[in-house]
Amino acid sequence: MSTSDSLNDSRISRMVELALMEDIGLGDITGEAILEETDLGAAEFLCKGEGIVAGIEVAAIVFSYCDHSITLHPLVEDGSPVKPGLVLARIDGNAKGILRGERTALNFLQRMSGIATLTGEFVRAVAGTGAKITDTRKTAPGLRALDKMAVRLGGGENHRFGLDDMVLIKDNHIVAAGGIAAAVTRCRTYLAEHRIDARIEVETGNLAEVDEALSCTGVGRIMLDNFAPAAMKKAVERIGRRVEVEASGGITLATVRACAETGVDFISIGALTHSVKALDISLELSQTARGRAH
């Protein structure tokens, strides 16, 4: 799904509505006390950190919910590199509405930019190896569509969105089924009976499990979970491009290059979304631009 398609997804609207309800509650009593309904405001998003911006268009949706008169004018595009001091967007319209939406807009913008920034660091770290950086389902509950959008804006790729996207046979599934072969057979039968077109990936923890997964018909990708680089390289050589190979498990910026150089196709990084450091961005209201409508 493209970024523009995602923004039209009804899930985004629901996220914005819920976030605003959570923050505003019965009303912004500070704004109500200080501002008149006719007060106009002008504000700007000021970047205070270096990274990749993501979420400007989502912030625009937030403000549109707060007051239909508010307009957001982006000065950079989502997915662009940014530095401290750069003005990302300007916001004009009803002052009460701007301040009602300030925190919610910033929460989305800062989180998404943090995800995009970290993703970009991983993508740069593996440049030239052919390995692709992907996310996981380790996202903030309820924010998955935006978390995964931010990964794409940072140059990464999305793994499955949810449990209905593809078959991923993990260690607990293997235990429950009594082995990799049994788990794969059950999944193939289920997919055929229900006429579901979905790929099958198998998680492996050692070379013996890699061999077992390779022996199963219908497996399209093998995950190497918590493999050391030497063992990972052996596994890639053993697989020999017969299926796609994904590396996962505790991979950091310090180790991702060595992982990529083993020849894996994908490297999934849970930290992209589960350990987000927000990009420092503020909203600054211009006092001189405020005034009362006549």
- Give pLDDT tens digits for 51-93: 999 999 999 999 999 999 999 999 999 999 999 999 999 999 9
pLDDT tens by residue, 241-270: 999 999 999 999 999 999 999 999 999 999
103 among known catalytic residues: yes
- First-last CA distance in the chain: 45
Residue 287: pLDDT over 70: no
User: Do 3-123+277-292 and 126-274 show the same overall fold?
Assistant: no
- Calculate mean pLDDT across residues 41-46: 96
Q: Which pLDDT score, from 0 to 100, does residue 292 have? A: 47
Q: Is the pLDDT of residue 7 over 90?
A: no
User: According to CATH, what is the number of the domain 126-274?
Assistant: 3.20.20.70
pLDDT at 87: 98
Residue that is written with structure tokens 């052996």 in the block = 234
Question: Which entry of 102, 225, 246, 265 is annotated as an active-site residue?
Answer: 225
Reported as a pLDDT band with limits 50, 70 and 90, residue 11 is confident
Confidence tier at 8 by pLDDT (50, 70, 90) = low
Domain ranges within the chain, ordered by starting residue: 3-123+277-292, 126-274
- Set 9, 23, 103, 188: catalytic member: 103
pLDDT at 17: 95
Residue type, 134: T
Q: What is the mean pLDDT of the chain?
A: 94
Stronger pLDDT, 291 or 33, i.e. the higher one: 33
Is residue 102 part of the annotated active site? The answer reads no
Judge contact between 158 and 59, C-beta under 8 A. Answer: no
Of 39, 78, 203, 265, the catalytic one is 203
Tell me, what's the pLDDT at 1? 45
Per-residue 3-state assignment (H helix, E strand, C coil) for the chain: CCHHHHHCCHHHHHHHHHHHHHHHCCCCHHHHHHCCCCEEEEEEEEECCCEECCCHHHHHHHHHHHCCCCEEEECCCCCCEECCCCEEEEEEEEHHHHHHHHHHHHHHHHHHHHHHHHHHHHHHHCCCCCCEEECCCCCCCCCHHHHHHHHHHCCCECCCCCCCCCEEECHHHHHHHCCHHHHHHHHHHHHHHCCCCCCEEEEECCHHHHHHHHCCCCCCEEEEECCCHHHHHHHHHHHCCCCEEEEECCCCCCCHHHHHCCCCCEEECCHHHHCCCCCCEEEEECHHHCEECC
Q: How confident is the model at residue 49 (pLDDT cuts 50, 70, 90)?
A: very high
Q: What is the pTM of this model?
A: 0.92
pLDDT tens-digit series, residues 100-156: 999 999 999 999 999 999 999 999 999 999 999 999 999 999 999 999 999 999 999
- Of 90, 132, 138, 277, which one is the catalytic site residue? 138
pLDDT in tens, 184-231: 999 999 999 999 999 999 999 999 999 999 999 999 999 999 999 999
Determine the pLDDT at residue 9: 74
- Catalytic-role residue among 90, 170, 188, 238: 170
pLDDT of residue 200: 98
Return the minimum-mean-pLDDT range out of 10-19, 44-53, 125-134. 10-19
Catalytic annotation on 203? Answer: yes
Q: Tell me what pLDDT residue 286 has.
A: 84
Q: Is 234 a catalytic residue?
A: no
Asked if CATH classification 2.30.30.240 holds for the domain at 3-123+277-292, the reply, yes or no, is no
- Find out whether 174 and 201 touch, Cβ atoms under 8 Å: no
148 flagged as catalytic = no
